[in-house]
Structure 1
Amino acid sequence: MDIKVDLIRSIYLEIREIHRLYNKQSRKVLVDYDITMPQLYVLRYLLEMEQAQKQVTITDLILKVDCSPSSMSIMIQRLEQEGMVNAVRGIKDRREVFVTITEKGKQILYPVELSAEQFIEERYKDIESSELQALYTSLQKFKRSIE
C-alpha cells in the first residue's frame, strides 16, 4: 500500500476524531441552554446574515446546515415556539418562508459563543498562530481536492 494513501487515511481519521471530540465538548455546553448543535448553527447563520442585512429562507438554512426539509421545518417550529426565531411566509410566494433571529435567540447565542471561545482558547493555547495557519492552509487544500 502506498505510504501517501495510508497517511491521508490517517489524517481523515484524525479529523473525524477531532470533530467527534469537539462535538462531545460542545454538547456539554449546549445542554445548559437546552439547544442542539444544528440549532446553534442555525442561530449563528441567522445572526451572520442579519449583520450582512441579507434575508434567509428555510431553503437557505437547509443548504447551510445540510439537513432534510422536514427536519429543518421541525427545528424552525421549535425555535419559533421558544421565541428564538421568527418565521414569516413570503408575500409574493406563500411557499417561501423567511426566518430571522430574535433578541432571545441572540441572548442564547452570545453566552454559548463565549463558552466556545473560552474552550478554544484553553485547549489550543500551546499551538502557535503559524502552526494554525499552516494547518488551515493544508485543510483548505484537502477540501478543494475532494470538492
Structure 2
Amino acid sequence: MKKLFLFTVIFLYTLPLFAGKQGTSAMGIKLTTPQIVSLSLSFYPYHAWLVQFEPGIGGGKLNIGLGGNYGYTIGAALKMSILQTWLFPMGGTERNQTYVGGEFEWMFKGVNFNIGLFGHIAGANPTRDMIFSAGLGVGF
C-alpha cells in the first residue's frame, strides 16, 4: 500500500512535466471501431487534462481524461468517453445508440493505438449491451 501511495504521489507531482502544455491542441486521423474513419481533435485546457472530440463515419466520441506526451515521441491517455453511433457503424453495432465507457490510448512517434470498453445507455433495441472499441491512427 505504501508503494502504491508513493508511486501515486510521484506520478501526480511529475505529470505536468510530461503532459501536453496548457492551451495546446492536436489533430489526427484514426481507423477505429465502430466509427470506421474518424478525425481526432484534442485540446489540453490545463496541463494533463485532455478534451477530445472524434467525429467519424459510423459515430462520434467525446473523451475527457488525463493525457500527455513527452516531446512528440511517446504519450498516453486514460479517458472517460461517450460514444454515439450514426450512419454506418462498424462491428455489428446499430446506429442511433449511445454508449459510455473508458478508453486507453498510447502514442509512439505520431502513431497511436487505443482500446476501450463501452456499455449501452440509450437507444432502442440495441444488438449489443457492451462493445469493445479499438483503433489505430496518426497525428499531424
Structure with bigger strand share is: 2
How high is the TM-score relative to the length of structure 1?
Answer: 0.27
Structure with bigger helix share is: 1
